[in-house]
Amino acid sequence: MNDAATASDSSLPLLARFPLLGAVPRVPLGRFPTPVVRVEAVAPGLWVKREDLAGEPLGGNKLRALEFLLGGLRPGDRVTTVGAAGSTHVLATALYARRLGARSIVYRWPQEMNDAAHRVAARIATTADRAPLVSGIPIAYARAFAARLSGARWIAAGGSAPVGVLGQVNAGLELASQVIAGVLPPPDRIVVPLGTGGTVAGLALGLAIAGLEREIIGVRVVPRVVANRFRVRRLMGRTARLLERLTSERLPRPKPGSVVVRHDFFGGAYGRAIIAGDAATKRFYDETGIFIDATYGAKALAAAIALAEQLGGTTLFWLSFDGRWLHGDGNARSPTDIVALA
């Protein structure tokens, strides 16, 4: 392991809590912990976990999973994954595989496109080694399976496999550490975009391990067959069993009611903007200078603002999409600037 990896490892709450996980292949890609800032100017008691600042040249929540999913990757290796045309998971996988000297073969299917999705799709096309748009989900998976048979490393859709979810367990432990340190008050609720479920599952498990279980509200941004409580709980269970095998420890499980799925902000299609999301995005940008995308963040942000206004207390919005490179007007504000707005 190189010096950079060792330095990064020493700051990970996951590895501090479970030293035996140091044997799991991992490549340090991110900059952690990500900041947590108060945005009272947007809604009372609203805080933001800025996963968009997780790394360079591209942040976002997928980086945590990719640190483990790309662990041990060597120059010249190949990786394959699948996703919608404007999937940020596909983009992050292709970008960081290339940074590690590997080739990426990604298969995508059509989706309803918004402006951010168009720009993500265009960047995928120039970043991946191969990124064909096929006619549907079954064909994308079939072609990725063929690539796996020829030796490419499979990266699960959304990074939502137990090894990848370890990165999100670290996010839960990281958040607990920030609460203990007084960086933010214990949130009454955490609002997260819910796609393939890895972020929600890992957060719930990490907070349970830390003894700081909180209600996690997954705001569905994909069809119900993909995003539902059953799938999230199954992923939590698989990840917990992996951790137990690797550490020989018995781990606490999140309580059954700790994860709530909200379906009322979906809008009918992945990538379809909703009126409440557009209003929330404008309100947030006007106050903070931070761009929120219509596919993931706007829907979760709209739910977070509504919950903050209706229920009071502390609401934490999980900003999972890095929109900095999409909105290069030079006016984006730093975390310090945002705190001053509170």
The whole-number pLDDT of residue 288 equals 95
- Please check whether residue 162 is in contact with residue 201, taking contact to mean a CB–CB distance below 8 angstroms: no
Cβ–Cβ < 8 Å for 96, 229? no
Q: How high is the pLDDT of residue 4? A: 35
pLDDT at 7: 35
Domains of the chain and CATH, by start? 3-60+160-341 (3.40.50.1100), 71-154 (3.40.50.1100)
Which of 187, 155, 142 has the alpha carbon at shortest distance from 48? 187
Low-confidence stretches of the chain (pLDDT beneath 50): 1-8, 329-342
pLDDT in the model for residue 326: 80
Which residue reads 């990281």 in tokens? 174
